[in-house]
C-alpha cells in the first residue's frame, strides 16, 4: 500500500514538473499524470482510513473553534465536526 502512495506522489510531481517545463507540448499528458496520481492517492486514503468520514480521509476536515489551550491562552483549539480530530493553532494577536 505504501508503494502505491509513493507512485502516486511521483506521478503528481512528474506531471507538475513536465507541465512547467513543457507546457505547450506536454500539457494534456501532464494533467493526465497529475489526475492519475491524485486518484491513486485518494484510493489509498479511502482504503487505509476506514474509520473516518470520506472528506476527512482525503484531508478535508471541517474544524470548529472549540476553546483555548489551558496552559497557553493564545493557543486555539479546533475540533473536526465529522471525525473529532483535534488541532491546535496559535493565532497572532489573538
Site for Zn ion, rule CB under 5 A: 56, 61, 80, 82-83, 85
Nearer to Zn ion, 9 or 85 (CB): 85
Q: How far is the CB of 85 from Zn ion (least distance, A)?
A: 5
Nearer to Zn ion, 61 or 76 (CB): 61
Which contiguous run of DSSP H or E holds residue 36? helix 23-48
Could you count the other beta carbons within 10 Å of the beta carbon of residue 2?
A: 8
Give every CB contact of residue 70 below 8 A, 6+ residues apart in sequence: none
Q: How far is the CB of 45 from Zn ion (least distance, A)?
A: 12
Amino acid at each position: 500500500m505504501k508503494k502505491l502512495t509513493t507512485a502516486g506522489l511521483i506521478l503528481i510531481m512528474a506531471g507538475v514538473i513536465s507541465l512547467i517545463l513543457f507546457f505547450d507540448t506536454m500539457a494534456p499528458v501532464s494533467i493526465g499524470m497529475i489526475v492519475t496520481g491524485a486518484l491513486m492517492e485518494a484510493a489509498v486514503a479511502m482504503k487505509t482510513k476506514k474509520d473516518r468520514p470520506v472528506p476527512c480521509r482525503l484531508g478535508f476536515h471541517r474544524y470548529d473553534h472549540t476553546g483555548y489551550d489551558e496552559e497557553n491562552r493564545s493557543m486555539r483549539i479546533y475540533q473536526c465536526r465529522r471525525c473529532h480530530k483535534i488541532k491546535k493553532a496559535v493565532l497572532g494577536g489573538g
